[in-house]
Amino acid sequence: MNAPEIKGLTEARAALARQRNAIARKMAAIELAPVSMAEDLTRVLLAIEAVDRALADAGQPFMAPEE
């Protein structure tokens, strides 16, 4: 994989992480979150894992920035 492809995967992962966080915040604000929201969260988590595998396969595993 070349540098632009790696960058694209990294940016896609960041977008998915933002989506994951948004869904989690919405779920936390609802006393009884609908199952569909949990299913959406699960799909996003699976997508993040798929991107992580693609990055690892390309020899560029995702490394979270230090905070």
DSSP 12-61: HHHHHHHHHHHHHHHHHHSTT--HHHHHHHHHHHHHHHHHHHHHHHTT--
CB of 33 closer than 8 Å to CB of 23: no
Is 65 part of any domain?
A: no
Global pTM exceeds 0.85: yes
Which pLDDT score, from 0 to 100, does residue 66 have?
78
pLDDT by 10-residue block (mean), the chain, 67 residues: 91 97 96 95 98 94 82
Is 48 part of any domain?
A: yes
CB of 19 closer than 8 Å to CB of 51: no
Domain count, the chain: 1
